[in-house]
A and B are shown apart, each in its own frame.
Chain A
């Protein structure tokens, strides 16, 4: 069977949601959906915008992320570099084994501080 696909997936809806809020002097970005080669630039733009606004302590909540690829990892690494340039921090919230495995394979589990919940992340400022 051969299937030809052209721009159909855009009609299936936006694949990434980003919600930002502030708590305890930190900026929490709640990410939902899929972070991939198509959607990762949206997350990169959001991080760039926040850093541009002087928000250097970021928490990326990935509990509602269904999929993450190397492009998404690249955006997270880029974000970490940006906040560190301002003596800031970027920590992750992730408790999904399938995502944690990706961080381990790429060696990034040692680069990021990864918390299991928002409560843990906010408690360990």
Chain B
């Protein structure tokens, strides 16, 4: 964090329709929040990529009316991101579910140490977080 700047707690919730075109918008917001946490562009890029991956997983490849995907970003001592969607989401890569053999879960797990996914009733929540002090 830049000297002389006081970090205040930040919370933003974004809700998007299940339309792949909207994932970019969430990435832009995630990058803005990450930049508030740290001027380290490598960190900002990691958050942008991870949130984009998580959203893409939840949204799917084609637009649908299966309900919105909600992304909650909270910045305090950690940057915490929850991505919530109605319905089940595969919790691991399968042999033939992806486009051409690349595994989105492998990328997410390679990027983030603190990653979890929970199913609660009819909704699925993918959570991830980063220590802010470590990168500030």
Contact = CB atoms under 8 A, between A and B. Distances in A.
Nearest to A108: B102
Interface residues of A, number: 36
A81 interface: yes
A15 B110 CA distance: 26
Contact of A77 (B14, B15, B23, B100): B100
Contacts of B100: 74-78, 81
Interface string A47-81: 00000000000000000000101110111111001
A102 interface: yes
Contacts of B56: 36-37, 69-71
Interface stretch (A3-11, A85-93, A117-125): A3-11
Given A1-B12, A108-B102, A8 B25 contact: yes
B2 to A, nearest CB: 22
Contacts of B107: 69-70, 73, 102, 105-106
A38 B101 contact: no
A98 interface: yes
Nearest to B109: A105
Contacts of A2: 12-15
Name which of A8, A74, A76, A78 has the most chain B CB atoms within 10 A of its CB: A74
Interface residues of B, number: 37
B21 interface: yes
| Among B13, B45, B102: residue with most chain A CB under 10 A | B102
Contacts of B53: 69-70
A34 B24 CA distance: 9
A91 B43 CA distance: 29
A12 B25 CA distance: 10
Given A1-B11, A10-B21, A38-B23, A74 B101 contact: yes
A69 B107 CA distance: 9
A94 interface: no
Contacts of B48: 67
13 contacts: A2-B12, A2-B14, A2-B15, A4-B14, A5-B22, A5-B26, A6-B17, A9-B21, A36-B52, A37-B23, A78-B100, A81-B101, A102-B107
